[in-house]
Amino acid sequence: MSPLQAPTTSEPVIELTPAAHTKLLELRDEEPEQDRLGLRLEVVSQPGQDFQYDLSFDVVTKAAFSDEVRNHDGLRVIIPAKDLESVRGAVLDYDDRNGLVLRNPNKPVALRPEGLLHSDEISAHIEAVVASDVNPALSAHGGFVTYVGHDGDGTAYLTMGGGCHGCAMSKMTMLEGVQTMLVEQIDGLVRVLDITDHASGENPYYS
């Protein structure tokens, strides 16, 4: 719906906590064109990567016709059509320590190379081990893995995120730790391959 047509009674796409709403109004009111501005929320990460967001104040009447505009008690929020389902139901919060934080219940769709199996019994077993053993172990480093699929010949493919994405040690973590846990518990699995594009990630251990 265009910014000029967006009714103020439309159901919001995201929720703003009172603290976030107050802070955003404060920031907007410091801008020269405060009365014309809305908060633009956009997903800027690449497909398959963890969601990354860009927040900016834009002139509402310059929003694209396909953008969704919602009025949150005097603060208009602009969301591109391509990002609606990625952020629907998210909560934007604020506190003095962490600043603005978007708590998003949605996760990016994992990229699946052609020909991989991901809906069979072995996949269900792998995903269960990842959830119960692998990711809890990696969480100490702020990291996690996402199961992508297996080739039917004993190789499982995963991507790494959080504290593992972009880390020089992630390859070793995958081969020595994750592979050991999975191979020991899943019959027929002999190796794990990491297909993460680590070149696209910063080193989160030192951020």
Query: What residues does each domain of the chain span?
Result: 15-103, 121-206
Compute the average pLDDT of residues 102-117. 81
What pLDDT shows up at residue 27?
A: 96
Compute the average pLDDT of residues 58-70. 94
Which of the two residues, 174 and 185, has the higher pLDDT score? Answer: 185
Domains 15-103 and 121-206 share a fold: no
pLDDT at 4 over 50: no
What pLDDT shows up at residue 5?
A: 45
Give the CATH fold of the 121-206 domain.
GMP Synthetase; Chain A, domain 3 (3.30.300)
Task: Give the chain's mean pLDDT.
Answer: 83
Global pTM exceeds 0.75: no
The span from the CA of 45 to the CA of 52, in Å, is 5
Let me know if 125 is exposed, middle or buried by CB neighbors in 10 A (0-12, 13-18, 19+): middle
Compute the average pLDDT of residues 173-196. 85
Compute the average pLDDT of residues 15-27. 96
CB within 8 A of 165, min separation 6: which ones? 49, 50, 143, 196, 198, 201, 204
pLDDT at 123 over 90: yes
Which of the two residues, 167 and 96, has the higher pLDDT score? Answer: 96
Helix (H) or strand (E) holding 79: strand 75-79
What pLDDT shows up at residue 186?
A: 94
Q: What are the backbone dihedrals phi and psi of residue 59, each rounded to the nearest 5 degrees, phi first?
A: -70, 125
CATH for 15-103? 2.60.300.12
What pLDDT shows up at residue 9?
A: 41
What share of the chain in percent tops pLDDT 90? 54
> Which of the four pLDDT bands, split at 50, 70 and 90, describes residue 206?
very low
pLDDT, tens only, 143-183: 788 899 998 999 998 887 775 655 555 556 556 788 899 99
